[in-house]
Amino acid sequence: MSALIEPTTSNRTDQVIVVGAGLAGLACAVHLHRRGLPCLVLEASDDVGGRARTDVEQGFLLDRGFQVLLTAYPEAQSMLDLRALELGQFSPGALVRFDGRFHRLADPFRQFSTALRSVANPVGSLADKLRVLKLRRAACAGSLEGIFLRPECSTAEHLHRAGLSPAMVERFFRPFLGGIFLDRDLATSSRMFEFVFRMFSQGTVTIPATGMQSVARQLAALLPDGTVRLSAEVLAVDAGEVVLASGEAVAASSIVVATDGTNAARLLNQRVEEPEWTAVDCLYYAADRAPIEEPVLVLNGDGEGPINNLCVPSQVAAGYSPGQQSLVSVSVLGSVPGVPVEPAVRRQLIDWFGSSVEQWKHLRTYRIRHALPCQPVGWLQPYQRPTSVHEGLFVCGDHIETASIQGALSSGRRAAAAVIDRLQNS
C-alpha cells in the first residue's frame, strides 16, 4: 500500500516533523524511519516530488522541467533502487546545431570510433578535444569532496584558463553547461563544473521509465502509510511545533525544514541564506515522428534563437509517449516573463527540422522561475552547509549542497543524522 493514501493527524511530541516532500525531505524521512524514529512529512502541494514532479498530459509524461538522473551520483546509488526505476539512457555526447546543420560530438570515453570521426567536425579543434580530455581527467582525480576544496573561479573563467578556444566554448560548453546549470553566462562555480563533469564521466545520463517523479515515489513508498500528509502547508515553524495554513498546530521533538531555499529562509527567520534562482522554460510537443534518430541531447551551438537544448524523451524511455508518437522537450533560457515563447520556439524548430514541425502539437509550457539555486563563486563554501540551525531545528535541501538530485538526497541524509545525534545526546 502506498505511503500516501491515509492522511492522518498526529500530535506526538516524540515525532520528527519534516516540512516538504521533495527529494531532500523524503530522503530525510526514510533515514529517520530506518532508525526507528516516528516521523511526519508535511507537504504543501498535492503530491510528492517538489521540483522533480511529472504530469500526465494526453498519455505523455511531462517532467516539470527537463532533468536527468546521473547514475554516478553516490547518493542515488546508495539510496535508490535504480533497477526498479527502469532507467532509459541517453547516448553519450551531443548533437550540436551549428552552421545550418547538426554535428555529432561524441564522448571519447564510451564511443571511441565515433569520437575519432567527431574530431573532424567543426564543433572544436583536435587540440580542444584533447584539452577537454585533460579537464575530464582533472575532474575525475581525487575524491568527490576534494573537488570542493580546490581553488575556484567561474566556470567561464575555468574553461578560458584551460585554453579552450572561444569556438569550443560557444558551440559546446555554453549550451551544454548552460542547460545543466540553467546559466548560459557560466557564472556558476568551477567546483560545480568539476562535480558535474565527473558525474557525467563516471556514469550514464538517464531518465526513469515513468518520469522523474518516480524517484520521489520510490522513496515515499519506503515510508509507513500516513507518514506523508499532502496539502498541508506549513506557515510557521517554532521550537517544538509547526503551524499549518489550516490553523492546526502540530507538536514535534525536532523539525526539519526541507523546503526550497526561499521558503526555508522564511520559515527559519533567515537563519539560512536565501539563494538567488535560475529560471528556465520547458516546452513539450507531440510529434508523429521523432525529429532525430537517436536518444541524444541536441544543443544550440550558434546561440541564435530561443532554444538552448532539446531532446526526445520518448526515444530515451518509451513510456514518455503513448503509442507510436514522440515527445519532444525544448529548454529555453533567459526568456522574458510574461512574453510568450512558443511561437519563436516553433519557428526555430521548423528551421532545424523542416515543415513537418507545423503538425507538432504543443502540449504544455512550464515557465519555472525558481529552478535551481544559483551557485556562483563562494556559494559552495563549505559545499555541505550545516543542517543544524537552532535548538531542535534542522534544514535540508539542494540549497545547502550542490543544486542537484545528489545534493538534495545527501542533505536529507545529513539532516536525519543530525536529528538522531541530537536525540541520542539529549
Ligand X SMILES: Cc1cc2nc3c(=O)[nH]c(=O)nc-3n(C[C@H](O)[C@H](O)[C@H](O)COP(=O)(O)OP(=O)(O)OC[C@H]3O[C@@H](n4cnc5c(N)ncnc54)[C@H](O)[C@@H]3O)c2cc1C
Q: Are strands 39-42 and 54-57 parallel, antiparallel or unpaired?
A: unpaired
Q: Is 299 in the site for ligand X (CB under 6 A)?
A: no
* Radius of gyration for the chain, computed over Cα atoms and rounded to the nearest angstrom: 22
User: How crowded is residue 305: how many other Cβ atoms within 10 Å of its Cβ?
Assistant: 16
Among 4, 16, 18, 21, binds ligand X (CB under 6 A): 21
Under rule CB under 6 A, how many of the chain's residues touch ligand X?
34
Q: Nearer to ligand X by C-beta: 227 or 404?
A: 404
DSSP 169: I
Query: Is position 297 an interface residue for ligand X (rule: CB under 6 A)?
Result: no
Q: Are the CB atoms for 380 and 400 separated by under 8 Å?
A: no
Interface with ligand X (CB under 6 A), residue from 31, 33, 51, 131: 51
Q: For ligand X, which stretch binds (CB under 6 A), given 7-15, 38-46, 80-88, 136-144?
A: 38-46
Cα–Cα distance list, 353 to 100, 103, 345 (Å)? 11, 14, 12
Per DSSP, helices labelled H in 148-226 are 155-161, 166-168, 174-181, 190-202, 213-220
CB atoms within 10 A of CB 100: 8
Nearest CB to ligand X, comparing residues 159 and 234? 234
Short-list 334, 327, 289, CA closest to 310: 327
How far is residue 25's CA from residue 408's CA, in Å, rounded to a whole number?
Answer: 8
Residue 241 binds ligand X (CB under 6 A): no
Question: Among 3-11, 47-55, 127-135, 287-295, which window interacts with ligand X (CB under 6 A)?
Answer: 47-55
Q: Which of 3, 30, 44, 164 binds ligand X (CB under 6 A)?
A: 44
Q: Which of 3, 29, 50, 181 binds ligand X (CB under 6 A)?
A: 50
Which of 42, 287 has the CB closer to ligand X?
42
What contacts 142, CB < 8 A, 6 or more positions away? Answer: none
In angstroms, what is the minimal distance from the CB of 47 to ligand X?
8
State yes or no: residue 405 binds ligand X (CB under 6 A). Answer: yes
Contact 281, 43 (CB under 8 A): no
**Using the rule CB under 6 A, which residue among 408, 415, 416, 418 binds ligand X?**
408
Tell me the closest approach of the beta carbon of residue 104 to ligand X, in angstroms. 22
Between CA 376 and CA 379 the distance in angstroms is 6
Q: ω before 373 within 30° of 0 (cis)? A: no
By CB under 6 A, tell whether 280 contacts ligand X.
yes
Rounded least distance, CB 191 to ligand X, Å: 15
Q: Does 415 bind ligand X (CB under 6 A)?
A: no
Query: Does 43 participate in binding ligand X (rule CB under 6 A)?
Result: yes
Taking alpha carbons only, the member of 415, 384, 52 closest to residue 191 is 384
Q: Which stretch binds ligand X (CB under 6 A): 15-23, 82-90, 95-103, 322-330?
A: 15-23
CA–CA dist 146, 285 (Å, integer) = 42
Q: How far is the CB of 276 from ligand X (least distance, A)?
A: 14
What value, to the nearest 5°, has the Cα angle with vertex 335 and ends 333 and 338?
A: 145
Contact letters (x/-) for ligand X, 66-105, by CB under 6 A? -xx-------------------------------------
> Quick check: 219 and 163 in contact, CB under 8 A?
no
CB-nearer residue toward ligand X: 263 or 321: 263
Catalog residues that contact ligand X under the rule CB under 6 A: 19-25, 42-45, 50-52, 65, 67-68, 233-234, 258-260, 263, 280, 368, 371-372, 397-398, 403-405, 407-408
